[in-house]
Amino acid sequence: MTQEYGKGFGRRRVLLGGAATTIASLAMPGILRAQTRELVIGGAASHKPWVETHVMPMFEKKYNCKITFEGTRSLVNLEKMQKNRDKPYMSVVQMDDPVMILAVREGLLEPITAAKAPNLAKLKPGTTHMDGMWANYLQPWQGVAYNTNVLKTAPASWTDALDPKFKGRIIVPSLQNTEGLPNLFMFAHLATGKPMAEAYKDIDAAFRELRKLKPNLLTVYSQMPQAFSLLEQGEAHMILGALSSFGMQRRLDGAPITMTAPKEGIFPVPSGIAVIKNGPNPDLAFAYVNELLGAEVQSKIAPPTFALPTNVDTPIPPGMPTDATIHPIDWAFVAENRNDWVKRWDREMGA
C-alpha cells in the first residue's frame, strides 16, 4: 500500500546554531586545554548542524574532550585518509557506503566490534558491513517525490511514471549520483518480477525497462536543487529516487511537494561511520561510534534528518514510513560495475 509522508510534521526547523560545550577557567586555561583531548571527525558538510546541536555538547561533556568536525565530501575525506595514512590526524569518518568500500580496500579502517562499541549489537540486519568495518547510524530513504498541486493522489507504484500522461514530466537522478542507482535496481525488479535480491543483478533487464521511461523524461539531473525547483514549479510532476532528507525538508519550507513510499518499496541512503586505523585517541573514537549507534542519540538525530534509525530500540520518527519494504544495496557489486553502467546509461538513455 502506498504511504505518503511529511504531513505529520509541524513547522519546526532544524537548529542550525548551537555551539559545542567548552571548558573554561579563569585560573589556569592553558593547563586545562592541555589536559583536554581532541577528537577530529571527518563528515559531510550537511552533517555539521546536527552534530554540533545534538551530539557535540553531550559527548564533550560526557568524555571530557573537544570535538573538531571537518565537514566536506566523502571523497575528500578519503583523500585526507590516504595522504595521512602514516600519521592520521582524524579518528572517525562519516562517509557514504561506496566510499567506505574504497577505504576498506586500502586498509584505512579499524573494525568495529561489540566489545568496543556495544551498540553495534543493537543494529538492524543489513546495517553492519564487511565484518564490522563500518556501520550505518541512520537510513535516510529514497522513494518518489511529487508535486501535490498537480497530483492529488500519491503515486501507488514506481510503474506510474511510465504512464503516457506523464510525457516530459518525470525527473530521475544521473547514475553519476549515488541516489541514481536505486532506479536501475527497481526497474530490473519491475522488468523481471523477481525478488529484489535476485533482480538487481539483471542489468540488461533494467535498461530494457528504463528505455520505456525515455518519452516521459523531463531531465536527468546531476544537481538536486535544480531538479526540485522544477518539481516545485510544476514543470515536473515526479522525481523517482528522491531523497527524504531533501524532499521532506522542502515540504517543511512550504513547497507543494511530498514524498511517498510506493508499494514495491524504498531504498536506504548510505550513512556510514567508521574508525580510522591508527588514528589518535582510539578509545574516544569507538566511544563516539557507540554513541551514534545508540538509541539515545539516534532518537535525537533521526527526526531532523528525516531518516530511519538503525538501532532497533529507537522509535521511528513521526511522518516516516513504518511498514514499507526497504531494499538494501550491495555496494561491493556497485563498485565493481558502476563505471560500465554509467557508460551504458549515457549511450542508451542519453540518445
- Tell me the pLDDT tens digit for each residue of 143-168: 999 999 999 999 999 999 999 999 99
**Are 185 and 60 within one domain?**
no
Residue 4 lies in a domain: no
Each residue's pLDDT, cut to its tens digit, for the chain (351 residues) gives: 555 555 544 444 433 344 334 434 334 444 444 568 999 999 998 899 999 999 999 999 999 999 999 999 888 999 999 999 999 999 999 999 989 999 999 999 999 999 999 999 999 998 999 999 999 999 999 999 999 999 999 999 999 999 999 999 999 999 888 889 999 999 999 999 999 999 999 999 999 999 999 999 999 998 899 999 999 999 999 999 999 988 998 998 999 999 999 999 999 987 999 999 999 999 999 999 999 999 999 999 999 999 999 999 999 998 889 889 999 898 889 989 999 999 999 998 875
Q: What angle do CA 4, 128, 134 make, to 5 degrees?
A: 110
**Are 300 and 168 within one domain?**
no
Find the domain containing 150 and state its range: 140-268+325-349
Residue 316 lies in a domain: no
Residue 6 lies in a domain: no
**Are 76 and 193 within one domain?**
no
**Are 331 and 210 within one domain?**
yes
Could you identify the residue written with the cell 581532541? Answer: 38
Task: Residue 73: give its domain's CATH number.
Answer: 3.40.190.10
Tell me, what's the pLDDT at 43? 94
Spatial separation of the C-alpha atoms in residues 191 and 168, rounded to whole Å: 22
pLDDT digit string, tens, across residues 311-336:
999 999 988 898 899 998 988 899 89
Q: How many domains does the chain have?
A: 2
> How distant is the alpha carbon of residue 283 from its chain centre?
26
Burial bucket for residue 122 (CB in 10 Å: 0-12, 13-18, 19+): middle
Residue 2 lies in a domain: no
Cell numbers given for 7: 504531513
Cell numbers given for 243: 531523497
